[in-house]
């Protein structure tokens, strides 16, 4: 079975209120040395059992999925791991 993982992250310059709130909570719990927290999404895509014929084409297709649907290009970047 092949599986692709798409990591969707807020662009580095976009504010992450959630990450900031978690960072402050970790500070209060006494976890030192946390410089920042950024929270994103991990999306697993099950590609079935068929062997992947053309990895480059697959990656391109996944990028299209991410671009059009999985990520919001205004505020997010994505990374594809096959």
Partner 1 sequence: MQAAVVLFPGLNADAEMIRTLELVGAKVTTVWHTSAALPAGTDLVAIPGGFSYGDYLRCGAIAKVGPIMKAVAEHAERGGYVLGVCNGFQILTECGLLPGALTRNLHLRFECRDVFVKVTADGPFSPPSGEVLRLPIAHGEGRYQASAEVLARLAGEGQVALRYCDERGAVGEDANPNGSVDNIAGIYGGPKKNVLGLMPHPERMSEACLGGTNGRELFDAVVRARRAAS
Partner 2 sequence: MATELDAGRGPSSAGDPTPNFPGDLPITPAVIKQHKLTAEEYGRIEGALGRAPTYTELGVFSVMWSEHCSYKSSRVHLKRLPTKGPRVIQGPGENAGVVDIGDGFAAVFKMESHNHPSFIEPYQGAATGVGGILRDVFTMGARPIAGLNSLRFGRPDHPRTPELLRGVVAGIGGYGNSIGVPTVGGEVQFDPSYDGNILVNAFTCGVARADRIFYGRAAGVGNPILYIGAKTGRDGIHGATMASDEFGEAKEGKGELATASSIKKGVRSTMQVGDPFMGKLLIEACLELFAAGVLEGIQDMGAAGLTSSSVEMAGRADNGLELDLDKIPRRARKMTPYEILLSESQERMLLVAKRGREDEVFAVCKKWDLDCAVVGRVTDTKRWVVTATPGYDPLDGAPPRGEKRVCADIPVASLTDAAPVYDRPRKAAPPRADVAVPDTTDPRADLLALLASPNVGSRAWIWRQYDHIVRGGTVVRPGSDAAVVRVPCERDGAVVMKHLAFAVDCNGRFVELSAEDGAKMAIAEVCRNLVCSGAEPIGVTDCLNFASPEDPGTMDQIARAIDGLGEACRALDVPIVSGNVSLYNETNDAAGRRPILPTPTVAAVGLVREPEDVVTQWFAREGDVVVLLGEGDEALGGSEYQAMKTGQLGGPAPRIDLAAEVRLQRLVLELARAHVLSSAHDAADGGLAVALAECCCTGPSLVGAEIELPATTGSAAGALFGEAPSRVVISTGAAHEADVLARAKAAGVPAKVVGRTTAAGPGATLSIRAGAHRLDVPAADLRGARERCLSGIVGT
Positions that interact with partner 1 (CB under 8 A)? 17-18, 21-22, 25, 28-29, 39
- 46, 27, 34, 40: which is closest to 72 by C-alpha? 40
Contact with partner 2 (CB under 8 A) among 1, 15, 29, 56: 15
Distances (CA, A) of 2 to 29, 41, 45, 60, 82: 40, 20, 9, 16, 8
32 binds partner 2 (CB under 8 A): no
Options 1-9, 18-26, 40-48, 49-57: segment touching partner 2 (CB under 8 A): 18-26
Indicate which of partner 2, partner 1, none lies near residue 39 (CB less than 5 to 8 Å, by partner kind). partner 1
Task: Give the footprint of partner 2 on this chain (CB under 8 A).
Answer: 10-11, 13-17, 20-21, 24, 67-68, 72-75
């Amino acid at each position: 079975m092949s599986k692709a993982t798409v990591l969707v992250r807020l662009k580095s310059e976009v504010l992450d209120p959630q990450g900031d709130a978690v960072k402050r909570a970790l500070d209060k719990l006494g976890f030192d040395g946390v410089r920042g927290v950024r929270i994103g999404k991990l999306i697993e895509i099950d590609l079935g059992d068929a062997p992947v014929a053309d990895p480059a084409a697959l990656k391109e297709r996944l990028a299209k999925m991410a671009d059009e649907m999985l990520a919001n290009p205004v505020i997010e970047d994505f990374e594809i791991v096959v």
